[in-house]
Amino acid sequence: MKRILIVEDEPEIREMIRYILEPQGYLLSEADNAQDARRALGEQTFDLILMDWMLPGRSGLEFTQEIKQKSQKSYPPVIMLTARADESDKVDGLNSGADDYITKPFSPRELAARIKAVIRRTGGQQDELPIEYSGLCIDPVRHQVSLADQPVSLSPAEYKLLHFFMSHPDRAYTRTQILDQVWGDNAYVEERTVDVHIRRLRKLLEPSGHDAFIQTIRGVGYRFTPSHLNRS
């Protein structure tokens, strides 16, 4: 689970970001000014900060400069959110130490893609840990799936799909959300593709009964529900 701190003074925008990111499995915290954000950063660690440029009091730009200069502590990457599309402002934003820049208004797809890219680029150690549920194990470092210690051979798409499910258990996802998460920016994949890959994945897991983990939620999409939680 990735934690994101949203620093934004407009409640509507915070709510919109929450609406986009929550179903994707992110844990979100909110602050509406630099002072609250500083407190939140002192209380827990985050994988990313979404920082509005125009904040009351200390601006998002100044605050980014401030936290990036404190080199003794490693701060999470920052994506700057702003209504300014001007090229020189963009340079200012990146010079302040921001890792990326999104101009408002942005699409849900763009926001999700940028966040994923920045987290991937800046680390994301959590993704490297093996996950196991009742003998079904995925090892991201070795890029290997095994069932009761026997390797299972999966296509790249099935592997990504299974990894997404195993790292986001017990949550219902629509086909569109699964497409965004697994196929990413590739807009040419149809929703039906999700069903095709789920069918294949279930077939591979069927002999051991693990196919029951992947549940169809009528009218919604799919959910990965491991009956016994043995997270290792």
Residues that bind Ca ion (CB under 5 A): 9, 52, 54
Closest CB to Ca ion belongs to which residue?
54
Q: For residues 8 and 158, which CB has a smaller minimum distance to Ca ion in the complex?
A: 8
Which residue, 5 or 198, has its beta carbon nearer to Ca ion? 5
To the nearest whole angstrom, how small is the minimum distance from the Cβ of residue 11 to Ca ion? 11
Query: Least CB distance from residue 49 to Ca ion, whole Å?
Result: 15
Burial of 187 (0-12, 13-18, 19+ CB in 10 A): exposed
Task: Write down the least CB distance from residue 86 to Ca ion, Å.
Answer: 16
Min dist CB 32 to Ca ion, Å, is 9
Would you say 30 or 180 has its CB closer to Ca ion? Answer: 30
CA pair distance 204, 210, nearest whole angstrom: 9
Please, which residue, 83 or 220, has the CB nearer to Ca ion? Answer: 83
- Listed in sequence order, the residues at least 6 apart from 14 whose beta carbon sits closer than 8 Å to its beta carbon are 6, 8, 30, 32
Task: Quote the CA–CA distance of 167 and 44 in Å, as a whole number.
Answer: 21
Cis status of the peptide bond prior to 105, with omega within 30 of 0: yes
